[in-house]
Amino acid sequence: MVFPIHMGLAAEYDSPLPEEADVVIIGGGVIGVSAAYYLARKGLRAVVLEKGRIAGEQSSRNWGWIRQQGRDLAELPIMMEANRLWKEIAAEIGDIGLRTCGLTYFASDEADEARYEAWLGDAREIGADSRMLSQAEIGDMFPGMTKTFRGALHTPSDMRAEPFVTVPALARAAVQAGAVILEGCAARVLDREGGKVCGVVTEKGRIRAPEVIMAGGAWSALFLRNEGVNIPQLSVRATVATTNAVPDVHGGGAVGDSLAFRRREDGGYTLASAGYHEIYIGPDSFRHFPTYVPQLIREPFARAYKPMAPKGFPDAWGTKRRFSGDAPTPFEAMRILDPEPNHKIVEQIRAEFEALFPQLGKVEVINSWAGMIDSLPDIVPVVDRAPVAGLSICTGMCGHGFGIGPAFGRVMADMVTGGEIGHDLSRFRLSRFTDGSKLELGPDI
């Protein structure tokens, strides 16, 4: 089946390119749309440039978890803000499928429990409502589950939503607030005067702006490297599947061993392979290999390696690394990054879910897809002003972007306007990859 957001859909936003804006945002995923929403609410002219369709890539292809649980401690306060902002957005624009359901991490052994307890001690001091569950509490929360776990980490205030419904709804709210969105309009290069950003050259012409936000997800590193800004960002493939409507065995989301699942509004479940990703080997993989060594040592079997990416992917061997504003770029050659799902993984997670809850009977997969997750070596994003005057970066969400999107969007709106950011962003600085600092990996939970 075709993924719900694809280039066969008529563009919802196809207005002419404005001559100027206060802020241009490159990328129409959850970060870009959220930034536009909060900029527009400040009364600023925000323009989002999306080469394909709004939320066509990872912002709509993720698990649909809005989680505080297991976050890097530097992200946690920002994620707690995001939980509040999601509720405010839902109250303002109507039902976007947002549900407070709780999320759960099962502990298979003592090592799992120890990691969860260690994170929990610090997270509670920040204000998280997470707690450990006993085996009896797990049984009550997940009736009929065949596998017994030692315990579990549970955060009752965590939420879920349907990403390919939620992000487009937020985009409409941004437009209603005064933002302009253009679909099918790729940003080619930055426009500069005297080394400072003065706008963006797009496939439809130039737009003047003193500030640009790069929120291009898996495409960010390719665009930025052409502008002289190097980020050790790679992309990994993750496969997701949805089931037919089945009885409700749990209304939230959970993950344990190799399976993750969450309830859907249509009565089915979204399934994914937990902790398993696939990486296509390309030029950037070799270029950034030394930076990823600590992550590879900690999780040597958490990913599989493919010899080459499909044609047109950001790190494919044939993808152009240098381009200009007067000719088509790789961003126009591939409007939506739509990797083929791993069908072996689809059957594996279907069978695991069916075996975990045998009372459901035969579980059928009704759709499956994959997405390319923009990843960084320490598993936290870059959220910072770039070494190019007028350029800001918010990318490398490492699969965590959907839930935290509104908060980082709000942060970016204040970053480019001199507002109060409200959080310590030093953990997310771009210079951590070049200033000699030791990279600290995010939580291993």
**Burial class of residue 344 (count of CB atoms within 10 Å of its CB; 0-12, 13-18, 19+):** exposed
**CA proximity to 76, closest of 129, 152, 154:** 129
CATH of the domain at 416: 3.50.50.60
Whether 8 is in a domain gets the answer no
What domain count does the chain have? 1
Residue ranges making up the domain that contains 98: 23-433
C-alpha 27/C-alpha 183 separation (Å) is 10
pTM of this structure: 0.97
Amino acid code (one letter) for 117 = E
- 71, 444 Cβ separation under 8 angstroms: no
pLDDT in tens, the chain (445 residues): 689 999 999 999 999 999 999 999 999 999 999 999 999 999 999 999 999 999 999 999 999 999 999 999 999 999 999 999 999 999 998 888 899 999 999 999 999 999 999 999 999 999 999 999 999 999 999 999 999 999 999 999 999 999 999 999 999 999 999 999 999 999 999 999 999 999 999 999 999 999 999 999 999 999 999 999 999 999 999 999 999 999 999 999 999 989 999 999 999 999 999 978 899 999 999 999 999 998 988 887 678 999 889 999 999 999 999 999 999 999 999 999 999 999 999 999 999 999 999 999 999 999 999 999 999 999 999 999 999 999 999 999 999 999 999 999 999 999 999 999 999 999 999 999 999 999 999 997 8
Reference 103, options 139, 145, 133; nearest CA is 133
Q: Is residue 98 part of a domain?
A: yes
Q: Is residue 442 part of a domain?
A: no
Residue 283 lies in a domain: yes
Q: How far is CA 98 from CA 73, 313, 341, in A?
A: 24, 32, 26
Phi then psi for residue 80, to 5 deg, are: -65, -35
13 domain residue, yes or no: no
